[in-house]
Structure 1
Amino acid sequence: MFQKKLNKVKLIKNIFHLRVVPRVLLATVIVLVWVGAAMAKPTTMTRVDLVEQKLQIALDTVWVIFGGCLIFFMNAGFATLESGFCRQKNVVNVLAKNLIVFTLATIAFWSFGFGIMFSEGTPLFGFQGFFLSGVDNSPATGENYQGVFTALAGTGIPLKAKFFFQLMFAGTAATIVSGAVAERIRFLAFFIFSLVLVGFCYPVTGHWIWGGGWLQGLDFYDFAGSTVVHSVGGWAALVGAVILGPRIGKYQQGKSFALPGHNLTLSTLGCFILWLGWFGFNAGSTMKADPLAISHILLTTNMSAAMGGIAATITTWFYFGKPDLSVIINGILGGLVAITAGCRFVSLGGAGFIGLVAGVLIVFAVDVFDHLQIDDPAGAISVHLVGGIWGTLAVALLAVGPDVNLYHIGPAQGLLVGGGLGGIKQMFIQLLGIASVSLFTVLASWMVWSLIDLFVGIRVSPEAELKGLDISEHGLQAYTGFMLKNDVSPMVAGIISRLNNKHKT
């Protein structure tokens, strides 16, 4: 009897080992595999996210560098534009200024400008990051960023790529001055002023708007630099032109005499180069490879340029009787300058309206400055100053408003597209920004120009100006072997001769 029970127990034990234990082991294995898979999944996703993040950083960096290279090419546009608008005896001087200004901008912006503009400091200026130094863990962004350039913390690219792109803007601001003071400024005076403008004047107001300064805190918006770059350059150019005075023979007995440029082919080529470069200027300011934003900005930029050219053509046709090519060129450039502030924030129709108004304004601005006897051989003041002011104001008039497809953070809906109190507030903020930047730039530029004039002298002698700055300043000719064309009328030549004799006496 006992043996039967023992056999029965053994049988149950065998059944347990054969059936239950394997099932338990199988369940255990399944549980372990499931837990392992669950634990392994986040690790795999982290690796995928890391790859995507590195790819995005690479794409953003390539796009920003490409945009910066397009802006750099704009220097060639300024050089050809200005040299074509000037007389042939001054071409070498114009080319030399446009070439040397970027070398000076590089040193000045690297040494002090970038730190003043984008590093941590006060609402008025930054005081760290000189010589591109200081803590920085770019391309980390947002809360993960640790460094002194917090104003650029939203851009997920290396610091040196950020500097490269911003350097191109700084160089552009200084180049604007060259055209307005052409044909009578001393090369050394322009040399010194360019260093101070890029190393101090431009970065201070840039800090207010882009570097976390007080205007940025008030929600002043200038997407790509209608005020930050172009108005600053325009005001500096205006002050320089006023202190320098007009070219010999330009204004006599209350009348304005034409001193036409020697090669409109060069100027037209320069316009095309600048138009191309502006796509990098505006679309590159996204600072990341955002397909929707980039494509929108490209179209608004092009639309404004096109309408600016058409408006200037029609206006000059009716106003002067013929479509003046030089005015058409400046109308296109005026449209480009004006759209720079709002290219991210306005619709295509709004961009067209901005360009149309800019094209008309440029025509009359050139005439107004001429009547004021402010001599600007290239029309730089009308294009960059007037166009920049109008474009900055247009943001408050035509911005589509946040929380739509174009942008989520930006200016309030414009007054002309249904904006209410928000649009009015935005207009006052834009006006405040324009006024404050203008006041500072005028005062700083006047002081710098005056000091240069006091210690160095800013204007060449009448003999040097009549001979041409190519020979007097550089000892070279742009067109060696070619006879120099008479660039003044007989009446003006007589006036110049009398002035020269008076100066010698």
Structure 2
Amino acid sequence: MSTLTLMNSIWVILGAILVILMQGGFILLEAGSTRMKNAGHIAGKTIFTFGIGSLVFWAVGFAFIFGNHANFFIGLSHFFYSGYEINGMNLSTSVFFMFQLAFATIALTIAFGGFAERAKLSTYVVFSIFFSIFVYPVIAHWIWGGGWLAEHGKQDFAGSTVVHLTGAMAALAATILLKPRIGKFNKDGSPNNIYGHNQVYTALSVLLLWVGWFGFNAGSTLSVDGGFFGYVALNTNLAAAAGAMAALIISWCVLGKSDVTVILNGALAGLVAITASCAFVTTWAAVVIGFIAGILVFYSMRFFEKLRIDDPISALSVHGTAGVWGTLSTGFFATKKLATVGSPGLFYGGGFHQLGVQFMGVFVSGLYAFIVSFSILFIMKKAMKGLRVSEEEEIIGLDVSEHGTYGYPEQFLGNKKISS
């Protein structure tokens, strides 16, 4: 193994570790954005679904994305990956496998944002398996594994479409079939605020995710050669900062106060948006992309609420709306020098070609993820006699109804009962 291959492998495994640690950020984000009676359940299901997603990716997911004998739809080799090396890679294939596994499980975690506070534990288990076989690997192969969108020059450096939009469309399917939480909407359709129980958790989660995103984006260079990963990290940070500032400004102007939840979602939206374009655009464009994402997420959250779609952690807005914008943004801002995939954007003399390719990729990928996820969940709903816990179980909380214990036992039972 050459020195460069070794250094690349060390860099990419570090990126994989950072992306896996983002699961901790998602635990805090989802738990903090929901009620304490469901906090233990949220933490636990994130861990076991990461385990399920890992095993399925080992068995078939990696093969469907990167296998040989591939067609426009999926790959067809490397099932049950055993650690062997694939020729032509400038890093350890096992390291590359771990990096891609981390991405696949993040998409699954994003999808579960649409299940929060009302889905059965069994729903998470079964959907984890089918999403990890039939949804994520297919879209990842189309764009990253040499599939038909890759042949058209679709630009998605680290996954605004592959990871974020795919997860968001699955979340949308879930919110439709599960229906809103008890008490979220009145009979006239007006919404009620169901406040998360810990805003400090949500703020800490955003910081953890922000740091993890350097593994997500900069790690996707898959190489230390030339130090280009530093430039990708710079663009990532600028977009996140711009997204947070834009969300602060727009919420202050419209609401008269700077809403903390909106600010946090603005930072995440900036990160999601720059994920597709971080290697293809200049630093000023990264700021613009992040800023627009911060504004879009504010209006998107309000839009989905008007449609009576109950999205507890704003997965549809943060990962869906921002994912669409981020993917389309390369069609405007990709430069001639940096567009190593596809063509330059509209503002750099490329005309509308790349923008058209980006739009096609977003539309087809989003539609596929939604239809297949909806179909899987619909069949599950019929076969499993419902996806959702009973009204009584939802009211007492999933910590007790699904696990027989409290995430915050002292809060619900008191010190005396705990000590006895």
Same fold (TM over 0.5): yes
Q: Which residue of 1 aligns with 2:418?
A: none
Q: Which residue of 1 aligns with 2:75?
A: 126
Decide whether the 8 Å contact of 1:345 with 1:411 is kept in 2: no
Does residue 343 of structure 1 match 2:291?
Answer: no
Q: Name the amino acid aligned to 1:228.
A: V
Q: Which residue of 2 aligns with 1:251?
A: 185
Q: Name the amino acid aligned to 2:14.
A: F
Tell me the distance in 2 between the aligned counterparts of 1:484 and 1:454: 37
Tell me the distance in 2 between the aligned counterparts of 1:94 and 1:285: 29
Decide whether the 8 Å contact of 1:88 with 1:484 is kept in 2: no
Tell me the distance in 2 between the aligned counterparts of 1:176 and 1:439: 17
Tell me the distance in 2 between the aligned counterparts of 1:217 and 1:458: 38
Tell me the distance in 1 between the aligned counterparts of 2:278 and 2:129: 30
Q: Which residue of 1 aligns with 2:56?
A: 108
Structure number with larger C-alpha Rg = 1
TM-score normalised to the size of structure 2? 0.95
| Residue 9 of structure 2, aligned match among 61, 75, 86 | 61
Please, what is the CA RMSD of the aligned residues? 1.5
Q: Name the amino acid aligned to 1:318.
A: C
Q: Which residue of 2 aligns with 1:493?
A: none
**Mind listing any 5+ residue stretches in structure 2 that lack a counterpart?**
415-420
Does residue 378 of structure 1 match 2:313?
Answer: yes
Decide whether the 8 Å contact of 2:406 with 2:412 is kept in 1: no
Tell me the distance in 1 between the aligned counterparts of 2:227 and 2:292: 27
Tell me the distance in 1 between the aligned counterparts of 2:143 and 2:341: 13
Offset of residue 381 of structure 1: 1.1
Tell me the distance in 1 between the aligned counterparts of 2:159 and 2:288: 19
Q: Which residue of 1 aligns with 2:388?
A: 459
**Mind listing any 5+ residue stretches in structure 1 that lack a counterpart?**
1-52, 142-154, 486-505
1:341 is paired with a residue of what secondary structure?
helix
Alignment of 1:237-276 (within 5 A): 237-253=171-187, 254-276=189-211
Which runs of 4 or more aligned residues in structure 1 lie more than 4 Å from their structure 2 counterparts after TM superposition? none
Offset of residue 291 of structure 1: 4.2
- Count of aligned positions: 411
Tell me the distance in 1 between the aligned counterparts of 2:303 and 2:379: 28
| Residue 480 of structure 1, aligned match among 406, 409, 415 | 409
User: More deviation in 108-117 or 93-102?
Assistant: 93-102
1:340 is paired with a residue of what secondary structure?
helix
1:423 is paired with a residue of what secondary structure?
coil
Q: Name the amino acid aligned to 1:433.
A: G
Offset of residue 374 of structure 1: 0.4
Decide whether the 8 Å contact of 2:330 with 2:345 is kept in 1: yes
TM-score normalised to the size of structure 1? 0.80
Q: Name the amino acid aligned to 2:233.
A: L
| Residue 184 of structure 1, aligned match among 88, 102, 118 | 118
Q: String of CA shifts for 1:453-477, please: whole Å, max 9, x gaps.
A: 1111210000000111111111111
Offset of residue 100 of structure 1: 1.3
Tell me the distance in 1 between the aligned counterparts of 2:133 and 2:252: 42
2:352 is paired with a residue of what secondary structure?
helix
1:412 is paired with a residue of what secondary structure?
coil
Offset of residue 410 of structure 1: 2.2
Does residue 156 of structure 1 match 2:87?
Answer: no
Tell me the distance in 2 between the aligned counterparts of 1:343 and 1:183: 34
Tell me the distance in 1 between the aligned counterparts of 2:105 and 2:224: 24
| Residue 348 of structure 2, aligned match among 398, 414, 418 | 418
Higher relative contact order (CA 8 A, sep 6+): 2
Q: String of CA shifts for 1:411-437, please: whole Å, max 9, x gaps.
A: 32221x332xx3311111111111111
Alignment of 1:27-426 (within 5 A): 54-120=2-68, 121-132=70-81, 137-138=85-86, 140-141=87-88, 155-253=89-187, 254-401=189-336, 404=337, 406=338, 409-415=340-346, 417-419=347-349, 422-426=350-354
Decide whether the 8 Å contact of 1:286 with 1:294 is kept in 2: yes
Q: String of CA shifts for 1:52-89, please: whole Å, max 9, x gaps.
A: x6111110000000000000110000000110000011
Tell me the distance in 1 between the aligned counterparts of 2:413 and 2:367: 42
Decide whether the 8 Å contact of 1:308 with 1:359 is kept in 2: yes
